A and B are shown apart, each in its own frame.
Chain A
Amino acid sequence: MALLELRDVHTFYGNIHALKGVSLSVEQGEIVTLIGSNGAGKSTTLKTISGLLRPRMGEIWFDGQRIDGLRPDQVVARKITQAPEGRRVFPRMTVLENLEMGAFQRRDKDLNADYERVFSLFPRLRERRTQAGGTLSGGEQQMLAIARALMARPTLLLLDEPSMGLAPILVEQIFDIVKGINAQGTTVLLVEQNALMALGLASRGYILQTGEIVLTDVSARLADNPEVKKAYLGG
């Protein structure tokens, strides 16, 4: 049974039908990517999983339990966390406080091992730990957003466009780190516009177009598909 499964999910913004029956599944231990152009509904899918948006129809199952209709904090309690689009770090809190917020629901108060883990993944954050989130560079903020999402020790990590606005070398670095996080046992659902890199990292992919899944396959075959090449891989 899949770790995460969306069954025919419909989400609306007011009267705008943003997700028109999205079905997808993520197996334990996988990296799965969701590819699509601007406005295809990629972020909407993640927001619906996280409980920021309520689906009007359809079901979301995680680890054998239905989670659609739960509040965002209840979804986090199920060990699903998200590094949202645009990073959304708390600008007037320090790096350490941001990380502490990521661990908000942790009842065991010993966060030192977790700090060590994220600082070894992102050494830059250790140097910046007393600095306010708003004063970090874009790349550092992205690192903080991912590190913060790891502090809850998630089973499933949702990443929304971690490459956005970053220099290519930094993107590669971040993708390497995501690979490492996955190797340590966290399942990853990655939303990307940078299809080439995302398919290089993920084992499987879904192509989302105007709120519908139009294609799904293992990454290698998606990358070879002429339609996909034309639309998302620049020829």
Chain B
Amino acid sequence: MNIAAWFAKNTRAVIALVVVVAVLAVFGKSIPIWSGCTAALDRCADIVAIGVFQGMIVALVALGYTLVYGILQLINFANGSVFMLGSVGALFGVEIFGLTKDTPATTVILAFAVILPVTMLLTAGLNAGIERVAYRPLRRAPTLATLISAIGMDFILQNVGQVLIGPSPVSLPSLLPTTNIITEPFVIKVSHVFVTAITVPLLIGLMWFVQATRQGKAMRATAQDREAAGLMGIDVNRTISLTFLLAGALAGGAGVIVALYNGSAWWQYGFSYGLLAFTAAVFGGIGNLLGAAVGGIFLGVLISLNAFYVDPRWQDVVVFGILVVVLVFRPTGLFAAKQSERA
């Protein structure tokens, strides 16, 4: 393709890029993230790295929103609270195994080899149960009815969280060593490796499942045309249950990771992470798996930069600001144009 044709096709993108560069050149010094990052690149790299690790957790929750949306065109608001209950599961697990900060590392690892899958199983079952009780009976009702039902389930679960662990954040003993593994070109701690070791296989495993397995293909078929999927001999209700099981497992897994990474569990985690993850899913084009993962990592980096260079209290403003901008200028999300696969 020649340059003129390429330019004609991408005019809007080029103009947007020029505007961004111009704004940074003129106002860069007064934009704290930009001036801070350009002044000390190595520190900026550390902060971006921290953001990527946080973003991977957000991505897990975002996948839950996007999976369910893809198959039912429903925002499962309860997903954030299922995630929160995952962090409660980690807290209970730590108490049951009697883990303290002095517990040897191998014992901690063995304990979490039990806690993580058990919590994921429980949250998977919970999420599928929510679908069975609160959404399936409304399958033929207007979408709004299901949406209200989802918001109701979210409130119920938030209160369950408060009943289980009380209204304040509860600390876990610091089980993850804070030692640096490398410091150049950016700092990576043991906790970061832990986050990566769990999230990345889950992300890749999910993509593989949806893309290559028989049940995954049934999920895609059901998402694309539910009635036709039934005519193929796919049990549509079972496929929808499976989707909720997967979304719940991912949310619960993310909850366990967050509890360890942040060293605490709190009933309000569902709202704060849920909002982030929902924004990430919309950002990447809701219904699009890869988009949700990339959106999660992008938002993780953004809130990390914001927390360091601006003020963590601005986080919701930044997140909602992005949500509004995406919805206004590109309501189908960044990846919608060349999205390859929905689930």
**Min distance, Cβ A54 to any Cβ of chain B, angstroms:** 13
Please, what's the 1-or-0 string for B228-246, where 1 marks a CB less than 8 Å from any CB in chain A? 1111111110000000000
- A152 close to B233 (CB less than 8 A): yes
- Contact flags A79-118 to B (C-beta < 8 A → 1, else 0): 0011010001111110001001110110000000000000
Chain A residues, Cβ within 8 Å of B221 = 90, 93, 101
**Chain B residues whose CB sits within 8 angstroms of the CB of A81 once the complex forms:** 231, 233
Q: Determine, out of A20-28, A68-76, A169-177, the stretch whose residues face the partner at the interface.
A: A68-76
Chain A residues near B214 (CB-CB < 8 A): 104
Within 8 A of B (CB), among A26-54: 50-52
Asked if B231 and A84 make an inter-chain contact with CB atoms under 8 angstroms apart, the answer reads: yes
Q: Cβ of B224 and Cβ of A73 under 8 Å apart?
A: no
Asked if B235 and A52 sit within 8 Å, CB to CB, the answer is no
B134 to chain A minimum Cβ distance, whole angstroms, is 22
Docked Cα-Cα span, A73 to B228, in Å, equals 11
On chain B, the residues within 8 Å of A92 by CB distance are 220, 224, 340-342
- Contact of A88 with B225 in the complex, beta carbons under 8 Å: yes
Interface set, chain B 205-220, CB cutoff 8 A to A: 214, 217-218, 220
B227 contacts A by Cβ under 8 Å = yes
Q: From A52, A71, A102, give the contact of B232 (CB < 8 A).
A: A102
Interface residues of B in 90-134 (CB under 8 A from A): none
Residues of B within 8 A of A72 (CB): 227, 230-231, 233, 236
* Smallest CB separation, A188 vs chain B (Å): 16
In the assembled complex, the Cα of A73 lies from the Cα of B236 at a distance in Å of 8
Q: Are B231 and A93 in contact (CB under 8 A)?
A: no
Interface range for A? 20 to 34
Interface size range on B against A: 20 to 34
Interface residues of A in 95-144 (CB under 8 A from B): 97, 100-102, 104-105
Contact A73 B342 (CB under 8 A): no
CA distance A52 to B236 in the complex (A): 11
In angstroms, Cα B235 to Cα A124, docked, is 30
- Residues of A within 8 Å of B217, CB to CB, are 93, 97, 100-101
A204 contacts chain B at the CB level, 8 A cutoff: no
SS of B interface (majority): helix
CB of B237 to closest CB in A, whole Å: 8
Residue among B221, B225, B227, B231 with most chain A CB within 10 A: B231
Q: List the A side residues contacting B236 at CB < 8 Å.
A: 72-73
Q: How many Å lie between the Cα of A33 and that of B141 in the bound state? A: 35
Q: Is the CB of B233 within 8 A of A73?
A: yes
Interface status of A10 (Cβ within 8 A of chain B): no
A77 within 8 A of B: yes
B75 vs chain A, min Cβ distance (A) = 21
Cβ of A102: which chain B residues have Cβ within 8 Å of it? 232
- A101-B218, A104-B218 known; A90-B233 Cβ under 8 A: no
A73/B220 contact (C-beta < 8 A), A52-B230, A104-B214 known: no
How far is it, in angstroms, between the C-alpha of A100 and the C-alpha of B213 when the chains are bound? 11
Residues A93 and B224 in contact, CB atoms below 8 Å apart:
yes
Are the C-beta atoms of A82 and B231 separated by less than 8 Å?
yes
- Seen from chain A, the residues whose Cβ lies within 8 Å of a Cβ on chain B are 50-52, 71-73, 76-77, 81-82, 84, 88-93, 97, 100-102, 104-105, 148-149, 152
Cβ contacts A to B, 12 pairs, < 8 Å:
A72-B227, A72-B233, A73-B233, A84-B228, A88-B228, A90-B224, A90-B225, A91-B224, A92-B224, A101-B232, A101-B234, A148-B232
Q: A73-B235, A101-B218 given. 12 additional CB < 8 A pairs?
A: A72-B231, A81-B233, A88-B227, A88-B228, A90-B221, A90-B224, A92-B341, A93-B217, A104-B232, A104-B233, A104-B234, A149-B231
Pick the 7 closest A-B CB pairs, nearest first. A76-B233, A72-B230, A88-B228, A105-B233, A101-B232, A90-B224, A73-B235
